[in-house]
Amino acid sequence: MTAHIVYKKIDPLNVATHSEIVIKNIIRKKLTYKGLILSDDISMKALGKNLLFNAKKAIQSGCNLALYCGGNIKESIILLKEMKKIDDFTAKKTSEFYKFLR
């Protein structure tokens, strides 16, 4: 899970959740992490933008899933309508996780 924190020496412009440098270059390439990466809650005030921007930016930056914990049904509907379907990698990994829980 990413954090909404700025690592000034790595990416002074973006929180980790919105940073391709943190997610793609460090987590994926340098650390060679091959699992799911999900954002922290995109409705947290630390991000400062609207939900849709926060969700799209998290996915664009390399998160597989954008976590929304606000619970507002109107906001949930907007996100469901506007966000793309999950990719095959994310579908496979979440399916493996649910099998593990059974």
Answer with the residue of higher pLDDT: 100 or 25. Answer: 25
pLDDT digits (tens, 9 = 90+) for 32-53: 999 999 999 999 988 888 999 9
To the question of pTM greater than 0.85 for the whole model, the response is yes
Residues near 10 by beta carbon (within 8 Å), at least 6 away in sequence:
19, 21, 22, 26
Average pLDDT, the chain: 93
Residues paired with residue 6 on neighbouring β-strands, in sequence order:
15
Q: Is the pLDDT of residue 101 over 80?
A: no
Distance in angstroms (rounded) separating the CA atoms of residues 44 and 1: 14
Domain extent listing, the chain: 16-101
